[in-house]
Amino acid sequence: MPPTGHAAARPRRHRLAAFLSLLGELLITAGLVLGLFVVYSLWWTNVLADRNAQARADEVRARWRTAAPAPSSSPAPGAGPGALDTAGGIGFLHVPAMRNGEVLVKRGTSADVINDGVAGYYTDPVKSALPWDPSGNFSLAAHRDGHGAKFHNIHRLKDGDPIVFETRDTWYVYKVFAELRQTSKYNVNVLAAVPREAGRDRPGRYITLTTCTPVYTSKYRYVVWGELVRTEKVDAKRTPPAELR
């Protein structure tokens, strides 16, 4: 005689319970996998990038120590880094307000450059000036989270804060004068030689820092502008300017 009533319902309840148990296990597994991915993206990539960036920075400084003296304090205008260039980077960015130590700066802003825990200067879609050029905008990008997250604390920068760029023989000292907390990732005007979106209307020697925003997304861009206020010759002890002491 086939089962009826409660007897027939029991197998269905067992199957449902087994299904729900399996579903729960799958969701827990998916959560663990997602959690591990987040840990990898936001922590382990930082570890790897910082390790790589430190190795490259050590190589740059070793080259600086052993290189012949530069023929002048800076290359010819528009000629590129010249004597200040190295295979691994053109110098180091120091931004005390971001509490990120020194940041090696290399050519380019593609993922294969800045994923190594460095900042890169733009070559496309707008070509960056370099600090020693007589005018222009030294425009840089770095990650805000993961891969070293060198610009994670960009929101800490305020008007008047120093941004210092160090080359083999010169300190370039900039002061922050404007910020744009959110703009389209396609807004290339922020990289212009004369940053009119920052309120400037004439050529000067500017620096622009760009990164993704909000944190943990890449939907928009956060922009900070600074202007060169002075340069200092690097002495034998590489004594930093007052802004970094």
Which domain CATH number covers 75? 2.40.260.10
- Confidence bin at 22 (pLDDT 50/70/90): low
pLDDT category of residue 73 using cuts at 50, 70 and 90: very low
Q: How many CB atoms lie within 10 A of CB 157?
A: 22
Q: Domain tally for the chain?
A: 1
31 found inside a domain: no
Helix, strand, coil percentages for the chain (3-state, nearest 5): 35, 25, 40
Span 190-210, pLDDT tens digits:
999 999 999 999 999 999 999
Helix (H) or strand (E) holding 16: helix 6-39
**Residue 204 falls inside a structural domain:** yes
Is residue 209 domain-resident? yes
Among candidate residues 114, 118, 212, 228, the one labeled active-site is: 212
Torsional sign, CA 108, 114, 115, 116: positive
Of the candidates 139, 238, 119, 226, which has an alpha carbon nearest to the alpha carbon of residue 187?
139
Known active-site residue 212: yes
pTM: 0.80
Domain that holds residue 73: 45-244
- pLDDT > 50? residue 71: no
d(Cα 57, Cα 88) in Å, to the nearest integer? 8
Q: Would 211 be classed as within a structural domain?
A: yes
Does some domain include residue 40?
no
Is residue 213 in a domain?
A: yes
Asked whether residue 85 carries a pLDDT value surpassing 90, the answer given is: no
Q: What confidence score (pLDDT) does residue 187 get?
A: 97
240 assigned to some structural domain: yes
Residue 80 has a pLDDT of 42
pLDDT digits (tens, 9 = 90+) for 29-59: 655 555 444 544 567 788 888 999 999 999 9
Q: Decide if 33 is inside a domain.
A: no
The reported pLDDT for the residue numbered 122 is 97
Question: Which residues does residue 153 pair with via DSSP β-bridges, in sequence order?
Answer: none
**pLDDT value, residue 83:** 44
